Amino acid sequence: MNFADIFIIAGFVILMLIISGLVIFLIYMLIFDRNQKKHSILRNYPVLGRIRYFFEKIGPEMRQYWFNSDTEGKPFSRDDYEHIVKSAKYLRDVIGFGSKRDFDEEGLYVRNDMFPKLAEEMKMDRNTLVATKRYILMKDPLLSQREEKWEDEDSNAYLLHEDDAVVIGPNTEHPFVLKGLIGMSAMSYGALGKNAITSLSKGLGMAKGTWMNTGEGGLSPYHLEGGVDIIMQIGPAMFGVRDPNGEMDWEELKRKSKIPQIKAFEVKLAQGAKTRGGHIDAEKVNPEIAAIRKVEPYKSIDSPNRFIQYSDVPSICDFIEEIRNQSGKPVGLKLVVGGTDSVQELAKYMKETGKGPDFITVDGGEGGTGASYQELIDSVGLPIRSALPILVSTLEKYGVRDRVKIIASGKLFTPDRIAIALAMGADLINIARGFMITVGCIQTLKCHSNACPVGVATTDPDLQKALVIDEKKYRVVNYLVNLRKGLFRISAAAGIESPVHFQPRHIMYKDEKGIVIPLESIINDIQGQIKTS
């Protein structure tokens, strides 16, 4: 028997074994599925039922990549996602042929000036540069991986002129001075892995003039890795500054406040996507995370939906005052606006007592989260474009608007969205998911499972290997620099020399019939409601 005959016989045997295995597997499925009591379809149609469940399982990916149009898809459409990715990867922010926006729908538009500002007329910091890297696309073939070249790039940082710098807590011992309007919203170590936090910290530090919010999970060494300015958040569970009984450890707060990178503290009342406390599963609470949060390892931990110790405006303002006195640094309040009267008690108390926060972070209901409940994500808390005018108008009504800076967040991931928020009264902007996308997020919606396949929202050491810090940090830089550049560009189109000068008069609202209403008129109506409430 020659080699060819042996090869043929071996191949035939292998083929028969495969066929026999499939037949045995199908017979087993027929018997098992027809007798199981959980799934009706499998009892009647074992084979077809298995095929159905297979396609159901891969349905999200099929819709994301094949069937959803470029402007569909939630929370971010393909266009939204690719805009962030291309900006971060290629340092490019141009598109061709025209907009995909449906101009027949209602929406907000930036009012362009007949005589826009020239580039040389823009008031900005022209001296600060950012050293980064970007990809140059060489070839993009259909059946093989695209060919790209990674090259060094020196870019203007597009920071504010020092005259326009935003100062938080000017009357505190250590005011927080910012020359960039955009920073990273609260994202905890534990919700995100160490590679993701480190990449974000390094990238933001390289971009300069920005900040990073720790989230309520406490300050980790990874937040500090890149030298970026830090806003340390304190949530209802007081992770990172708590004693063994869950009460505030003031000595620990003092120790944290002496870290030069910590520029401010933020007391969290609520988050747009979850007006409730946080939760982290036991498997995520490894010894390192437990030490940072000052809890026991490998036990599920929950943050209550409000501070147990502080249940009203006077008590929470006293808490803010004590943090400011102990730390010497600005203290803010993070909240969600639920109605036109939501912040009246706070504003009134601030006026009557002189107490209160140095900044208010207002989070829209469209914001993201690692995990929450559908009924809270979808229906509790107003979106940012409704919440902002209410907050601003209420603070103005009681004459305390000038005492606080307002940080807005809620899908403000493009320059035009940011410009509209600034025109509505925001002083600064927070972004979370936009930055997650820059470090690799592909929207698998598995943030709550510790099974993020790209190593972003997971503490699994094997999965985190997918995220290469020394590559992703440059994407963070590029995205932020492009946002700032676009913000100056849209400011020039509006006829103003800096984005800090956006006002309601720069925005127009168009309804579905084509009727145009100035944003000023809409805000005046809101102010009227608040004045009479």
Residues 56 and 162 in one domain: no
Going 429 to 432 to 434 to 439, the CA torsion angle's sign is positive
Nearest to 105 by CA among 512, 515, 513: 512
Residues 51 and 163 in one domain: no
The per-residue pLDDT for 383 is 92
Any domain includes 105: no
Alpha helix ranges (H) inside 158-285: 194-207, 221-224, 250-257
Structure tokens at 197: 């936090």
Q: What share of the chain has pLDDT > 70, as a percent?
A: 98
The per-residue pLDDT for 191 is 87
The per-residue pLDDT for 399 is 96
The per-residue pLDDT for 131 is 94
Residues 159 and 57 in one domain: no
Whether the pLDDT of residue 25 is over 90: the answer is no
Whether the pLDDT of residue 301 is over 80: the answer is no
CB-CB contact of 342 with 187 (8 Å): no
Q: What is the CATH number of the domain that holds 416?
A: 3.20.20.70
pLDDT, tens digit, 9 for 90 and up, residues 385-395: 999 999 999 99
pLDDT, tens digit, 9 for 90 and up, residues 438-452: 999 988 888 878 889
Instruction: For tokens 């027929």, name the residue.
Output: 30
pLDDT, tens digit, 9 for 90 and up, residues 169-213: 999 999 999 999 999 999 999 889 999 999 999 999 999 999 999
Any domain includes 117: no
Residues 182 and 48 in one domain: no
pLDDT, tens digit, 9 for 90 and up, residues 441-500: 988 888 878 889 999 998 889 999 999 999 999 999 999 999 999 999 999 999 999 999
Q: Is the peptide bond before 75 cis (omega within 30 degrees of 0)?
A: yes
Range of the domain at 463: 154-529
Residues 525 and 399 in one domain: yes
Q: Which residues pair with 150 in a beta bridge?
A: 135
Residue positions counted in the chain: 533
Residues 227 and 343 in one domain: yes
Q: Say how far apart CA 510 and CA 106 lie, in whole Å.
A: 5
Among 34, 62, 90, identify where a domain stops.
62
The per-residue pLDDT for 414 is 96
Residues 263-282, mean pLDDT to the nearest whole number? 80
Query: Sorting pLDDT into bands at 50, 70 and 90, what band is 275?
Result: low
Residues 177 and 43 in one domain: no
Whether the pLDDT of residue 435 is over 90: the answer is yes
Please calculate the CA angle 506-507-510 and round it to the nearest 5 degrees: 145
The per-residue pLDDT for 278 is 65
Residues 342 and 466 in one domain: yes
Q: Which one has a higher pLDDT value, 290 or 502? A: 502
Any domain includes 136: no
Nearest to 305 by CA among 373, 351, 251: 373
Any domain includes 424: yes
Residues 84-104, mean pLDDT to the nearest whole number? 88
Give me the chain's average pLDDT, please.
90
Q: Say how far apart CA 413 and CA 436 lie, in whole Å.
A: 11
Instruction: For tokens 């939906």, name the residue.
Output: 305
Alpha helix ranges (H) inside 68-156: 78-90
pLDDT, tens digit, 9 for 90 and up, residues 336-345: 999 989 999 9
Q: Say how far apart CA 205 and CA 208 lie, in whole Å.
A: 5
The per-residue pLDDT for 470 is 95
Q: Say how far apart CA 200 and CA 187 lie, in whole Å.
A: 10
Backbone angles phi, psi at 178, to 5 degrees: -130, 135
Q: Say how far apart CA 417 and CA 411 lie, in whole Å.
A: 8
Backbone angles phi, psi at 155, to 5 degrees: -130, 150
Whether the pLDDT of residue 504 is over 90: the answer is yes
Q: How many domains does the chain have?
A: 2
Any domain includes 356: yes
Any domain includes 115: no
Residues 421 and 275 in one domain: yes
Whether the pLDDT of residue 364 is over 80: the answer is yes
The neighbour count for residue 412, using CB atoms within 10 Å, is 28
pLDDT, tens digit, 9 for 90 and up, residues 60-70: 777 777 777 77
Query: 114-119, long-range: CB within 8 Å, 24+ apart, which pairs?
Result: 114/495, 115/495, 116/492, 116/493, 116/494, 116/495, 117/491, 117/492, 117/495, 117/496, 117/497, 118/492, 119/492
Q: What share of the chain has pLDDT > 90, as a percent?
A: 62
pTM to 2 decimal places: 0.90
Which 8-state DSSP code applies to residue 161? P
The three-state DSSP-derived secondary structure of 310-360 is: CCCHHHHHHHHHHHHHHHCCCEEEEECCCCCCCCHHHHHHHHHHCCCCCEE
Q: Say how far apart CA 17 and CA 15 lie, in whole Å.
A: 5
Rounded to a whole number of angstroms, the distance between the first and last alpha carbons of the chain is 98
Any domain includes 91: no
Residues 296-313, mean pLDDT to the nearest whole number? 85
3-state helix, strand, coil in the chain (%, to 5): 40, 15, 40
Q: Say how far apart CA 161 and CA 166 lie, in whole Å.
A: 10
Which 8-state DSSP code applies to residue 107? E
Q: Say how far apart CA 178 and CA 263 lie, in whole Å.
A: 10
Please calculate the CA angle 146-132-156 and round it to the nearest 5 degrees: 125
Any domain includes 166: yes
The per-residue pLDDT for 370 is 67
C-alpha distances out from residue 479 to 87, 131, 136, 196, 206, Å: 5, 13, 15, 15, 12
C-alpha distances out from residue 195 to 78, 231, 462, 468, Å: 25, 20, 11, 7
The per-residue pLDDT for 141 is 80
Query: Sorting pLDDT into bands at 50, 70 and 90, what band is 434?
Result: very high
Whether the pLDDT of residue 396 is over 70: the answer is yes
Among 17, 33, 62, identify where a domain stops.
62
The per-residue pLDDT for 272 is 75
pLDDT, tens digit, 9 for 90 and up, residues 112-143: 999 999 999 999 999 999 999 999 888 888 77
Whether the pLDDT of residue 234 is over 70: the answer is yes
The per-residue pLDDT for 1 is 60
- Residue 259 in 3-state DSSP? coil
Query: Sorting pLDDT into bands at 50, 70 and 90, what band is 375?
Result: confident
